[in-house]
Structure 1
Amino acid sequence: MRRVLTVVTAAVFVSSIGLPVATAAPVSRTPAGGFEELFVPSSMGPIKVQVRWAARGGSSALYLLDGLRAPAGHSQWTTDTDALHQFAGDDVTLVFPVGGRSSFYTDWYRPSSTNNQTTTYKWETFLTRELPEFLAGRGISRTNNAIVGASMGGNAALILAAHHRDQFRFAGSFSGFVNPTYPWWNEAMRAAMLGEGGFHVDDMWGPVGDPAWSRNDATIQAERLRGLPMYVTSGNGLPGPLDPPYGLGDTVHAMSLEAMTAVAAGIFRDRVTELDISARVDILNGNHTWPYWAQSLTTARPMILDALGAR
């Protein structure tokens, strides 16, 4: 069942034009297993969030973060993977934040100076304060959550869990850039963000050397992840049977990206091993494409359900 919460939308509109909004009791949960599109108030304006409620009305949730090209209308997890089918019978609510193109799901210093952005991205604030507060009114726990992300969302998932251990009990990175302070990696991010929407990396975390870079590097922040169940995976950059029939240029691009994330995953694996921190890290045959991230979610699913007690 797909239903837009027009009541929430109306409340956001009325608030935006300065009229008083009546205080109302929390909205009741939709029927177990139902699908909704919510509009959640935030400092960035109303954010669309797609939700598939837990099959039996449970209170745990799994947040799924998109990649660099995060579209404005839907989460690619809902269209490019079988995530909805995978968890159809599970007692965990799937939460798909929509948007955040080139944001790295972090709080930026200021709006991007290269594409006329008017609102400062504040995705960490949204995902760890505004959205959990909203979902709590629908019966979702603030403390029994898991988070996974693909590509851009991979490092973000680990970082959000590292800095908000009271919220997340599992974190997963699929082909994530989990070591952004690695030499010259910032320049790769600069090129990628300029190419995907004209965003400027310096407006996100400042120049290299700014403390925000280290704060948002999962490898540097590994100690904060101690004791948290984790699954970090990357392909090795070799095309395989799950690759869509891209043209040669797209294939080469996906191969180069995945080769870089494989290096980062290896560095992360070495770091947690050095610190004697438990984490599952897999570097497998595969490429930087959604079919492999759907496969990674399949592998992570039993770990997620165990961590949340949601079987």
Structure 2
Amino acid sequence: MSDRRSSSASRSFAPTLSRVLTPALAPVLAFGLIGGMAAPVAAQSLPGSSGSSGNIGSINQVGGSVDPSSAGAGSATIGSTGSTGTESLAGLGTLPSLGTGSQNTLATPPIGMESEPVTVSEVRHKEIGDPRVAGGDTRFERWWIASESMNRVLPVEIWRPTSNAPAPMLYLLDGVDSPSPSGWLLPGHVQDAFAGEHVTLVMPARADGSLHADWQNDDPILSRNKWQTFLTEELPPLLESGELPFTGKRGIAGLSMGAASAVTLAEHRPDLYSAVGAIAGCYTARDDLGFVLAKIVTETRGGNIANLWGPRTDPAYAQNDGLLHAEKLRGKTLYLATATGMPDATEWDRNGRDLLRFSQGTGLEIATHACTVAMDRRLDELGIPARVDYLPTGLHNWDNFGRFIAPMRDTLMPALR
């Protein structure tokens, strides 16, 4: 497996941390994270206050989330030891609700369903430029798209290439808050990283806490979620109808919650994507830690995981397990990446000395590191090549995620050109 990792300086960390995060310890870490996530909202720092989440690295005044990775710019999720056992928590079904005290009440409310049924998926409205994105550059567009499957009108953000020549499309999925403008743009500045590439960047927004999945039931807070249907069936024909000159090649990538989604969507529809990228994600919700953290993703945003895939015994957990279906990634260009959750000497100050953000960012990245090791091993067992980058330090936040954008670009783009 060692020849799969391109960050040789950190090779020793992957097996070390995965051994520490044994299945027996997974629930302990999971519930520790719940304890941090469930801190009363009143006790959290507000944007602009001392120790607020607005003081993390290059991110300024965009805080307001209990999740350190989102910083109001979208990120989060899961974590797993890579095991697929379901015994220890199976009898607890979906577990008790985390309660309203765990919810991120400062997050933008989810977009609800339309009062009149959406009978056809279509582009309802387009906005050209946004002063928050690259000073209003007109290559940024926000398409408001009516989804028949979700009965919702949702924003899809687009960054056009510099010329009108046909270009491939790279879908970029956000983390838990799935904000607008996308976290890939703010604070990720993905438009700068891809400035030398001829590619259309597509960033679906407002998939709050959804795992970009098709939910079994409508949720009173998170509304109707049929994101798999939207992203793989409804959206491509609208984007590829001619206004965005298209070569016929697509890639998909995500970070945190979106990393899991990118892998799962590529496995569900291997015909659609030539390249897949996943930064700091987890690829199964069937083990204890993965399940509990998937619950955190949905329920800190006000949803109920029972409306997603039901109790843990439901076959939907296996159907959406990235490790189980990794064979479907064969033949694609793959990029995975993670840090370790270990802080460097500047991390405490860059996190505004906010203990809640610091501890959550540490725990989540330790977990996603173990998840990435599990997927790395699974791909290695199957003989499927991938570039997998491990960095020895970094928490679950955009200061960390941003370091992986350029190597992901360099890995995926040759398959899309």
Is the TM-score greater than 0.5?
yes
The one-letter amino acid of 1:181's match is R
Look up the SS of the partner of 1:193 in the other structure: helix
From 217, 233, 249, the equivalent of 2:321 is: 217
* Change beyond 3 A, Cα 1:163–1:302: same
The one-letter amino acid of 1:124's match is Q
* Change beyond 3 A, Cα 1:16–1:198: closer
Contact 1:60 1:144 in 2 (8 A): yes
Are residues 1:101 and 2:208 paired? yes
* RMSD of Structure 2 on Structure 1 (CA): 2.8
Alignment of 1:196-211 (within 5 A): 197-211=301-315
Provide the rounded CA distance (Å) in 2 between the counterparts of 1:242 and 1:106. 37
Are residues 1:289 and 2:408 paired? no
Q: What's the counterpart of residue 176 of structure 2?
A: 68
TM-score, normalised to structure 1, is 0.84
Are residues 1:175 and 2:280 paired? yes
From 254, 262, 265, the equivalent of 2:369 is: 262
Are residues 1:124 and 2:225 paired? no
Look up the SS of the partner of 1:220 in the other structure: coil
Q: What's the counterpart of residue 49 of structure 1?
A: 156
Look up the SS of the partner of 1:205 in the other structure: coil
Structure of higher RCO (CA pairs closer than 8 Å, 6+ residues apart): 2
Contact 1:143 1:168 in 2 (8 A): no
Shift of 1:159: 1.0
Provide the rounded CA distance (Å) in 2 between the counterparts of 1:163 and 1:283. 27
Residues 218-272 of structure 1, C-alpha deviation per residue, up to 9 Å, x if partnerless? 1111111111111111111112368542412111101000111111111111111
Provide the rounded CA distance (Å) in 2 between the counterparts of 1:250 and 1:257. 11
Equivalent residue pairs, number: 285
Are residues 1:248 and 2:355 paired? yes
Q: Which moved more, 1:46-55 or 1:32-41?
A: 32-41
Provide the rounded CA distance (Å) in 2 between the counterparts of 1:54 and 1:211. 41
Are residues 1:111 and 2:218 paired? yes
Are residues 1:152 and 2:260 paired? no
* Change beyond 3 A, Cα 1:254–1:56: same
The one-letter amino acid of 1:261's match is T
From 183, 190, 193, the equivalent of 1:86 is: 193
Look up the SS of the partner of 2:304 in the other structure: coil
Shift of 1:192: 3.6
Q: Gaps (5+ residues) in structure 2? A: 1-113, 130-136
Q: What's the counterpart of residue 188 of structure 1?
A: 293
Q: Gaps (5+ residues) in structure 1? A: 1-14
Are residues 1:136 and 2:240 paired? yes
